[in-house]
Amino acid sequence: MKAVVLAAGQGTRIRPLSDSIPKPMLPVADRPLVAHTIDAAIDAGADEIVLVIGYEGETVRDYFGDEYRDVPISYAVQTEQAGTAHAVNTAREHIDGPFAVLNGDNLYDPAAVDRLFEHCPAVCAIAVDEPRNYGVLSTDGDSVTGIVEKPSEPPTNLANAGAYAFPERAREWLEVPESERGEHEITDVLASVIEEFDVTPVTLDRWLDVGRPWELLEANEWKIADLDRRIDGRVSDDAHLEGDVVVEEGATVKPGVVVEGPALIRSGATVGPNAYVRGATLIGEDASVGHAVEVKNSVVSRGTSVSHLSYVGDSVLGRDVNFGAGTNVANLRHDDADIKFTVKGERVSTGRRKFGVVAGDGVKTGINSSLSPGLKLTTGATTRPGESVERDR
């Protein structure tokens, strides 16, 4: 079976992190987000991966090349973002048998992807508490009988998780009319398959749609927790590593450092001296965490520097960020209310009691900057020394 993996979108809701990199290529543990999806497909038996690319597509090509894990990679280019069926239709020439469709910005329970392939035609679903907010599957025993978007009276609590295994004939049904949203929807293709075939619902134990910055943080919490302890880099005898900590070859952990796993310190990164890293933290390639810095439950992306005497908690820092000495991130409100964050101009709840700052690529803070909970610093933004920043910039 071939797997068509959708990776063409920018991800406007996750800005500024996607300003110069496609959302599916953002870091989740030791690889890009989309690589977890591709790995699950290969482990399930995919004999070819067709990547649908668009925004900053060369970034995807450069990473995966023509072959990944001994499986050939093909590319289809979606020049306009016109919906999921439109995206799959751009890959039509590569489809010559049963095929799976997976979203490159979703994390799937790998065992369920195995079952999806095995039971083709099939669709993945996740049991939810509020099905009225989702596309919901109707079922009759072990068969899917239909799908309805955000129903007032849901037929089941099974929400469509956006992963499909289609028979070859579905290739003929990829050209669908525009929906009310002005997009060509893959659910219309699913509806055609349901009319002609017995479609099996495959229930996921775990699934995550990574659309907003705090969901990227949650994705890293999931995948970093899955790592087993491995120490390949240089670790001082005076450092203390506790639990499932991974220090990749080429990374350096200096004297006085304490790392409480799960945590991942990637190749070329430097931590310390006398730093404290804890709580599902990713220290990216060539990043630097300086003297007397604490980083807790955060993503510190490639080439970023958090200088001495700083605190970063529950935050996502993009590439080549430079936090000046004494920069402190607040991640908790005095009233303990959930932190809100700006998504496409609207303040929305993250659902998290603790959430710090999201800094785009190239952000620089002056020494002794104070950053408020739920703050967005756009690509290249700066702060002045001693400044308390309470509003997005």
| Residue 385: CATH number of its domain | 2.160.10.10
Task: Supply the pLDDT for residue 43.
Answer: 96
Of the candidates 204, 36, 51, 214, the one whose C-alpha atom is nearest the C-alpha of residue 134 is: 204
Distance between alpha carbon 335 and the CA centroid of its chain, in Å?
30
Q: What count of Cα atoms within 13 Å lies in the side-chain half-sphere of residue 161?
A: 28
> Beta partners for 99?
2, 166
**Pick from 224, 219, 215: which is nearest to 260 by CA?**
224
Q: In what order do the strands lie in the sheet with 263-265?
A: 230-231, 245-247, 263-265, 281-283, 299-300, 316-317, 357-359, 375-377
**pLDDT for the residue numbered 165:** 96
Residue 28 shares a structural domain with residue 138: yes
Q: How far is CA 128 from the centre of its chain?
A: 20
Q: What is the per-residue pLDDT for 388?
A: 97
168 and 244 fall within a common domain: no
Spatial CB neighbours of 180, under 8 Å, sequence gap ≥ 6: none
pTM of the model: 0.94
Torsion sign (Cα): 348, 352, 353, 356? negative
Q: How many domains does the chain have?
A: 2
Domain-ending residue, one of 211, 245, 268: 211
Question: 228 and 372 in one domain?
Answer: yes
Within this chain, do residues 99 and 236 fall inside the same structural domain, yes or no? Answer: no
Do 171 and 272 share a domain, yes or no? no
Residues 183 and 292 in one domain: no
For residue 348, give the H/E element and its range: strand 346-349
User: Do both 237 and 351 map to the same domain?
Assistant: yes
235 and 192 inside one domain = no
- Residue at 29 is within a domain: yes
How much is the pLDDT for 176?
A: 85
Residues classed as catalytic = 308
Which residue range(s) make up the domain with 18? 2-211
> 66 burial class (0-12, 13-18, 19+ CB within 10 angstroms)?
exposed
Helix and strand totals (H; E) in the chain:
6, 39
CATH number of the domain that residue 138 is part of: 3.90.550.10
Collapsed DSSP state (helix, strand, coil) of residue 183: coil
Amino acid symbol at 91: A
The residues with which 203 forms a beta bridge, in sequence order, are: 125
Residue 294 included in any domain = yes
Q: 229 and 98 in one domain?
A: no
**Domain presence at residue 217:** no
Q: What is the pLDDT of residue 151?
A: 83
> Does residue 132 sit in helix, strand or coil?
helix
In this structure, the strands spanning 71-77 and 99-103 are unpaired
Does 235 share its domain with 148? no
Is 218 inside a domain boundary? no
Domain boundary residue among 178, 211, 244? Answer: 211
The CA-atom distances, in angstroms, between 343 and each of 3, 14, 138, 208, 309 are 31, 7, 32, 18, 31
The span from the CA of 119 to the CA of 125, in Å, is 14
Residue 73 lies in a domain: yes
DSSP string, 98-113: -EEEEETTEEE-HHHH
Beta strands in 216-339 (DSSP E): 230-231, 234-235, 240-242, 245-247, 252-253, 258-260, 263-265, 270-271, 276-278, 281-283, 288-289, 294-296, 299-300, 305-306, 311-313, 316-317, 322-323, 328-329
Of the residues 176, 211, 246, which one is the last residue of a structural domain? 211
Dist CA 18 CA 60 (whole Å)? 13
In a domain? residue 44:
yes
Q: Looking at the structure, do residues 256 and 373 belong to the same domain, yes or no?
A: yes
- Contact status, residue 296 vs residue 312, Cβ threshold 8 Å: yes
Q: Are residues 29 and 136 in the same domain?
A: yes
Q: Which residues of the chain have pLDDT under 70?
A: none
What is the distance of C-alpha 185 from the center of its chain?
A: 22
- Residues linked to residue 332 through DSSP beta bridges, in sequence order: 354
